[in-house]
Amino acid sequence: MLFNSYIFVFVFFPICLFGYYGLLRGGKPAAASVFLTAMSLWFYGYFNLSYLLIMVCSIAGNYLFHRLLSGKSLGLSRGGRGDASGHGEGKTAAESGAALRRAVMVLAVALNLGVLFAFKYFDFFLDTVNGVFGTDFILRGMLLPLGISFFTFQQISFIVDTYRGEVADCSLSEYALFVSFFPQLIAGPIVNHGEMLPQFRAFGKKRADWERIAGGLALFVLGLSKKVLLADTFGAGVDYGYGNLAVLGRADAALVILFYALQLYFDFSGYCDMAVGIGRMLGIEIPVNFNSPYKAVNIVDFWKRWHITLNRFFTKYVYIPLGGNRKGQGRMYLNLLLVFFLSGLWHGAGFHFIVWGMLHGVLYVLTRFWQRRMRTKDDGRVTNAARDKNGAPERCKDMTAQTGSGMSGFGRRIGHKFMTVLSQIATFLYVSVAWVYFRAESIAQANTLLRTVWQGEVKKLSLDLAECLQPDEFWYVIKVLRLDNLSFSRYILMFLLLAAGLYFSMVGRNAQERVARLKYGPVSAVALVVLAVWCVLSFSGVSTFLYFNF
């Protein structure tokens, strides 16, 4: 079931909202938890009942491992438990218990990754073997269960945290809701137990908070607008461009690259906004997964803003266990490259995803290297400045103070602002070029599009490409203003939408910031209603979220 669908907006969520708060009002928090779980299973099963069976089996199997690791079924606590008569025997029992727990944890993680491999990577593996060794293994062509990458990683984190002793006792109903909670089930964020279980256990204290519900509704509408009105509009141009690479000119190819960067931004951020908004309407705070990444001034900053919870997962469960930055700079950079390799592979079963991940990884390592180098230089300057200050005569100090004042200080601020904007634009362009490998069906297709930008024919912008970005409601305004007879009329909307997309993604406040500053009144209410109605009327032409494919 899609957030941007009639059944969700008019049937599913009203039932969910009123049923949930009705049970809480009746003093039945346990029933409210079970009700949310049942609604979440309906939400997921609506796509495909076989998907639901896979997820239910995954929940049951992982909960069993949780019970084993927590000592409830295995008979061993985290440190081991024994009734030995001697010190040596007790130590042996503890060591045996620890080894058994570790074996159970490794088995659980391996099984989760095995299921993910079977559904997502097995055909990619066979295709690679066929290409390298000239074999003819038949590909299975299995459909990828929606959200399997997300709920698999979420359960792996739960299992590992249980092994580490970080998870308190968890009931089956709590665990089932933790995994299946529908706002973040299909495309994240990848939440952890510490963020969600305490909120589930506080259901008995929750009541309808109308101000919070209003804020959640506003955030949902803004996220829906991003998806329906912007992402899908840019997506039409992207689909045309990738489907007609042979006829694109240089400018057309460059626009297609920009269109996809904006489509993915508004698609993913729109989903994240809707997920957080739905959670708030239910009185549950979902962690922020997206924080204006196109405002980043370098690639390190970008990954603090884009898919925040995935970055957190790889840091905690891959980067740090590999040694992080504790084993020297060379090992640190190697660990970072491995994380980005896995990040690319996690996003999709294809070499073009790996290339995308490594493009980010190489620049990330270079940026970290440069930052460490500049930090070392700055530390040296501070030391030298302190030494000079202690030995400088008073006249020198006065001259230094005068030099740092007046127009020179203003000039430094202007220079700093200019460099910040330049860094932001450079980072955006690099990320946009890397997205080509993320969107393309193969490395060859991505290379073709990039080659067109640099070596393609210089010709007039494609009218067919411009036609893809002509929403009927906007074109009607063009006609009312009598601009439709102009020779360039078909390009007006395309460039207006491009300018709006760049402004909202790189300059303006994001949806979370806008809702935080929103003053509820007639004007804001009318604006939100207009946006909501506009989105609903556009539902017939919308598509699924891009991250559903991962």
Q: Which tens digits make up the pLDDT trace of 425-477?
A: 999 999 999 999 999 999 999 999 999 999 988 888 998 999 898 877 666 66
SS3 of the chain: helix, strand, coil, percent, to 5: 75, 0, 25
Cβ 204 vs Cβ 511: under 8 Å: no
Q: Which of 45, 135, 182, 119 is nearest to 348 (CA)?
A: 119
Which pLDDT belongs to residue 401? Answer: 44
Q: Which residue has tokens 């049951």?
A: 60
Rounded-to-integer distance, Cα 344 and Cα 355, Å: 7
Cβ 548 vs Cβ 5: under 8 Å: no
Cβ 507 vs Cβ 499: under 8 Å: no
Which pLDDT belongs to residue 2? Answer: 85
Contacts of 200 (CB under 8 A, 6+ apart): 33, 174, 177, 178, 284
pLDDT, tens digit (0-9, with 9 covering 90-100), for 145-189:
888 999 999 999 999 999 999 997 899 999 999 999 999 988 879
What's the token pair of residue 279?
């959670």
Cβ 435 vs Cβ 261: under 8 Å: yes
Q: Which of 347, 352, 360, 416 is catalytic?
A: 347
Q: Which of 76, 105, 106 is nearest to 93 (CA)?
A: 76
Which pLDDT belongs to residue 393? Answer: 46
Q: Which residue has tokens 């556009």?
A: 538
Rounded-to-integer distance, Cα 452 and Cα 162, Å: 51
Q: Which of 389, 379, 39, 10 is nearest to 182 (CA)?
A: 39
- Flag whether the pTM goes above 0.85: yes
What's the token pair of residue 437?
């490998």
What's the token pair of residue 382?
């501070």
Which pLDDT belongs to residue 385? Answer: 59
Which pLDDT belongs to residue 543? Answer: 65
Structure letter (DSSP) for residue 405: S
360 has catalytic annotation: no
Domain spans in the chain, listed from the N-terminal domain onward: 6-208, 228-283+454-549, 291-387
Which pLDDT belongs to residue 63? Answer: 96
Which pLDDT belongs to residue 161? Answer: 96
Rounded-to-integer distance, Cα 499 and Cα 506, Å: 10
Q: Which of 309, 234, 158 is nearest to 543 (CA)?
A: 234
Residue 177's CB is within 10 A of a number of other CB atoms, namely 24
Residues of the chain with pLDDT under 70: 72-91, 378-408, 473-484, 486-487, 540-544, 547-550
For 282-350, where are the alpha helices, taking DSSP H only? 299-302, 308-314, 329-347
Which pLDDT belongs to residue 484? Answer: 65
